Amino acid sequence: MNSATAPHILVIDDDPSIRELVSEYLGANELRVSTGSSGRELFEQMDREAIDLVLLDLRLPGEDGLQLARQLRERATVPIVLLTGRNEEADRVMGLELGADDYVTKPFSPRELLARVRAVLRRYQVQATLPERDSARRAFRFAGWELNLRTRRLQGPGGQAVELSNGEFSLLAALCRAPQRVLSRDQLLSMSRLHEGEVYDRAVDVQIRRLRLKLEADAAAPVLIVTERGAGYRLACEVETLY
């Protein structure tokens, strides 16, 4: 699996040995891992990246792990797996009531942790196939690219940030919402305006050309955003939606 398209796991734990163990084991099993040791780092990374699942230690020094779980659930629908001690049953129950999806007790088997992470990710992937409010979407992933709808950032296959104008962002988001479908210029204009884009009828072609310069290996022979003669444009790849 391409590392840029692998599910992105965020591990928040104050113990560096646990962060290293989890990062190495999950990374060796086709998952992308970022780590942090505090609530501040948790929310900074959530604002900066499209995270697929959070592994959260409930016993961070000087912080209330349950409060962090509550704040995270209020801000995002991202899956949460709690890391807890064996004698913290009350915290586990409270965490699940606050919206956490599962828990793993310390010390834990990396193999069991991986199985639980994969199970939670599968559940969310099934839910993502059901109709959802567009405002719940966090990001789109396609062909190694990642378009974060909340930060309005585009990240390339190598992790590089690519700047987009308002118009470029709105058009790319519209294409991602309807992958493999031909969208006319009028449809693209309408869909972009619905999402507060600054796109005008005669500018659609110009914006598409600019997007191709940023996305395509050869903008003169595009393979991602293709032209359907006399009909419009189509994003010719699969798109994964993150909620």
The whole model's pTM is what? 0.59
Q: Does residue 63 belong to any structural domain of this protein?
A: yes
- Asked whether residue 160 falls in the same domain as residue 101, the answer is no
State which of 80, 111, 128 marks the end of a domain.
128
CATH of the domain at 179: 1.10.10.10
126's tokens: 């099934």
Same domain, 124 and 139: no
- For 17, other C-beta atoms within 10 Å of its C-beta total 8
Domains held by the chain: number: 2
In a shared domain, residues 229 and 211: yes
152 and 124 housed in the same domain:
no
For 207, the domain range is 135-242
Mark whether 148 and 164 lie in a shared domain: yes
**CA–CA separation, 112 vs 205, rounded Å?**
51
Pair 140, 99 in one domain: no
Please, what are the averages of pLDDT over each run of 10 residues along the chain (243 residues)? 74 94 94 94 88 91 89 84 82 80 88 92 62 67 92 90 86 90 80 48 76 94 92 91 82
pLDDT in tens, 196-205: 444 444 568 8
How far apart CA 129 and CA 53 sit, in angstroms, is 17
In a domain, 1, yes or no: no
